[in-house]
Amino acid sequence: MNEKKYNCPVEAALSQLGGKYKAIILYYLLTENVLRFSQIQRHIPRATAKMLTQQLRELEGDGLIHRTVYPVVPPKTEYTLTSRGESLRPVIFAICDWGREYMAGTF
């Protein structure tokens, strides 16, 4: 986990959520609980495999998601939220609600 000191709480929060697809990945994990890499790719089709891998590694490194690798052929990897990641539920769903209003043009 990042031990950087922040002067602003928004900066601290965005250091965890900032990233091209991090918040989207967290949203889908909050709504579906367990996802495999290919399922995440289907949810975010514009993301390259390299970018998704990078974002997943950062989320794992920040302690927000857990990666489980099963010793089978072909390889099977599942992603779930940690309790720390689960604590972002109200934040992610507030962003989701705001996004729905924005998409509906109600602003």
- Name the band, by pLDDT with cuts 50, 70 and 90, for residue 30: very high
Which value, in Å, is the radius of gyration of the alpha carbons in the chain?
A: 15
pLDDT for res 4: 78
**To which residue do tokens 């995440």 refer?**
40
The domain made up of 21-104 has a fold known as: Arc Repressor Mutant, subunit A (1.10.10)
pLDDT band at 45 (very low <50, low <70, confident <90, very high): very high
Mean pLDDT of 39-65: 97
Mapped onto helix, strand or coil, the DSSP state of residue 19 is: coil
pLDDT at 55 exceeding the cut of 80: yes
What's this model's pTM, rounded to 2 decimal places?
0.90
For residues 37-55, give the mean pLDDT: 97
Residues 6+ apart with CB under 8 A from 7: none
- Mind giving me the DSSP string for 42-84? HHSTTS-HHHHHHHHHHHHHTTSEEEEEE--SS-EEEEEE-HH
Give the pLDDT of residue 5.
Answer: 87
User: Edge-to-edge strands of the sheet including 34-36?
Assistant: 34-36, 76-81, 65-70
Per-residue DSSP letter, 34: E
Closest alpha carbon to 20 in 67, 43, 54: 54
- Annotated domain spans of the chain: 21-104
